[in-house]
């Protein structure tokens, strides 16, 4: 076995990136050494951001979370845990343009406001501090996220942006508090308006295929609302006219997003249809009762033209929704997903 393996990454748009991976090194680190900064987050096999698919060649996976890797054995890999055992060719689920050629820069922002957004969730707004190298613009693509550091620690967490890119440096987040969680505890108890925070990004490749002529269905649940809200705001901003359907799921009614948000989205995007699903509703609930995957299956069964599907939420929701879409005949490459693994 050679000491150094040749790794070839093939992007969604067929670009091929080749680099050497020394023995003992994972593919993600080797790519960074070669100057390719691939979408990734925890670098520890936990978050699933660096999920990819091995096309050919042998490899070994170091320990990782089951939730982060839904399809082991069928070539599913996490780049941060994958060590080649010989030359390896890997398919990436995104385009070449999503691969950064420079390392990320950490910058700072100020908390502008912090307000409740439904039960157990907060709306956080930051303003970027202008930076000599980066300027002061909030420059991202709807669907992307930022990594925020818990002040006074090295702990970083990903949060998707809910607003639109803008020149004022404004970043809006919708954050569902996780009891006992590091970031959640800081945000829920100690964070104050005016406080400084360090962050980096934008990151992520969960973005709209603007050029697609197909209808779209956006499916979200739990803490997965923000990127879908941003995408819908973007479509409204560009007066998109394609049929668009939002399926949003929660365990209980109180955990759904604030009604004013749905009203804003409907006003901006007149053709938008919204299905709200509640798993355990209280009596009198007149929306869909069940999971996001069940609502998606019901919606797709009534369609003649298969839509593009955008999924965002916890791993279990993603996997069931994906299975439902595939079962209804949606091609795998028309399913875009953001896995909010923990």
Ligand X SMILES: Cc1cc2nc3c(=O)[nH]c(=O)nc-3n(C[C@H](O)[C@H](O)[C@H](O)COP(=O)(O)OP(=O)(O)OC[C@H]3O[C@@H](n4cnc5c(N)ncnc54)[C@H](O)[C@@H]3O)c2cc1C
Point out which residues bind other proteins (CB under 8 A).
97-98, 130-137, 139-141, 165, 167-169, 207-208, 210-211, 213, 234, 238-242, 305
Residues forming beta bridges with residue 59, ordered by sequence position: 84
Alpha-carbon distances, residue 86 vs 1, 22, 35, 142 (angstroms): 7, 10, 21, 38
Is the CB of 81 or the CB of 234 nearer to other proteins?
234
183 binds, among ligand X, other proteins, none (CB under 5 to 8 A by kind): ligand X
To the nearest 5 percent, what fractions of the chain are helix, strand and coil? 25, 35, 45
Minimum distance of other proteins from residue 141's CB (angstroms): 6
Distance CA 21, CA 32 (A): 10
Determine which residue in the list 182, 267, 323, 326 makes contact with ligand X, applying CB under 6 A: 182
Minimum distance of other proteins from residue 164's CB (angstroms): 9
Is the CB of 294 or the CB of 338 nearer to ligand X?
338
> Which tokens hold the place of 195?
């406080």
Minimum distance of ligand X from residue 140's CB (angstroms): 13
268 binds, among ligand X, other proteins, none (CB under 5 to 8 A by kind): none
Minimum distance of other proteins from residue 80's CB (angstroms): 22
- Cβ 106 vs Cβ 199: under 8 Å: yes
Site size toward ligand X, by CB under 6 A: 24
Q: Which of 50, 43, 49, 53 is nearest to 76 (CA)?
A: 53
> Which tokens hold the place of 5?
């393996």
> Is cis: bond before 202, omega within 30 of 0?
yes
Is the CB of 86 or the CB of 167 nearer to other proteins?
167
182 binds, among other proteins, ligand X, none (CB under 5 to 8 A by kind): ligand X
DSSP letter (8 states) at residue 253? G
Minimum distance of ligand X from residue 207's CB (angstroms): 12
Is the CB of 60 or the CB of 168 nearer to other proteins?
168
How many residues does this entry show for the chain? Answer: 342
174 binds ligand X (CB under 6 A): yes
244 binds ligand X (CB under 6 A): no
240 binds, among ligand X, other proteins, none (CB under 5 to 8 A by kind): other proteins
Instruction: List, in sequence order, every beta strand (DSSP E) within 170-278.
Output: 170-176, 196-203, 216-221, 244-250, 273-278
64 binds ligand X (CB under 6 A): no
* Interactions with ligand X, residue window 21-50 (CB under 6 A): 41, 47
Minimum distance of other proteins from residue 165's CB (angstroms): 5
158 binds ligand X (CB under 6 A): yes
Determine which residue in the list 19, 59, 94, 159 makes contact with ligand X, applying CB under 6 A: 159
124 binds ligand X (CB under 6 A): no
Minimum distance of ligand X from residue 123's CB (angstroms): 10
Distance CA 207, CA 204 (A): 8
Distance CA 236, CA 178 (A): 31
3-state secondary structure of 209: coil
176 binds ligand X (CB under 6 A): yes
- Cβ 319 vs Cβ 74: under 8 Å: no
Distance CA 255, CA 284 (A): 16
Minimum distance of ligand X from residue 171's CB (angstroms): 11
> Is cis: bond before 278, omega within 30 of 0?
no
Sites of contact with ligand X (CB under 6 A):
41, 47, 145, 157-160, 173-176, 178, 180-184, 204, 223, 226, 338, 340-342
């Amino acid at each position: 076995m050679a000491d150094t393996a040749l790794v070839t990454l093939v992007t969604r748009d067929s670009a091929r990136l080749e680099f050497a991976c020394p023995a003992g090194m994972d593919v993600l680190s080797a790519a960074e050494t070669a100057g390719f900064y691939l979408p990734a987050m925890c670098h520890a096999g936990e978050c699933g951001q660096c999920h990819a698919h091995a096309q050919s060649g042998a490899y070994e996976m170091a320990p990782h979370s089951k939730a982060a890797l839904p399809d082991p054995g069928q070539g599913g890999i996490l780049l941060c845990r994958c060590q080649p055992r010989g030359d390896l060719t890997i398919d990436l689920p995104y385009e070449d343009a999503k691969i950064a050629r420079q390392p990320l820069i950490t910058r700072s922002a100020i908390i502008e406001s912090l307000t409740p957004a439904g039960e157990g969730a907060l709306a956080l707004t930051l303003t970027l501090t202008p930076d000599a190298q980066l300027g002061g613009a909030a420059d991202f693509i709807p669907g992307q996220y930022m990594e925020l550091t818990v002040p006074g620690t090295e702990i970083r967490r990903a949060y998707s942006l809910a607003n639109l890119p803008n020149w004022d440096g404004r970043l809006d987040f919708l954050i569902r508090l996780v009891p006992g969680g590091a970031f959640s505890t800081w945000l829920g108890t100690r964070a104050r308006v005016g406080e400084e925070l360090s962050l980096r990004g934008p990151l992520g490749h969960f973005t709209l295929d603007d050029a697609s002529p197909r209808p779209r269905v956006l499916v979200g649940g739990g803490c997965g609302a923000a990127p879908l809200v941003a995408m819908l705001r973007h479509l409204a901003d560009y007066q998109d006219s394609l049929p668009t359907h939002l399926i949003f799921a929660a365990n209980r009614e109180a955990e759904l997003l604030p009604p004013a948000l749905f009203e804003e989205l409907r006003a901006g995007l007149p053709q938008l249809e919204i299905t709200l699903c509640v798993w355990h509703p209280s009596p009198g609930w007149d929306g869909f009762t069940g999971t996001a995957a069940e609502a998606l299956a019901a919606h797709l069964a009534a369609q003649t033209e298969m839509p593009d599907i955008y999924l965002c939420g916890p791993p279990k929701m993603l996997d069931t929704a994906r299975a439902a879409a595939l079962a209804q005949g949606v091609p795998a490459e028309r399913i875009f997903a953001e896995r909010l693994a923990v």
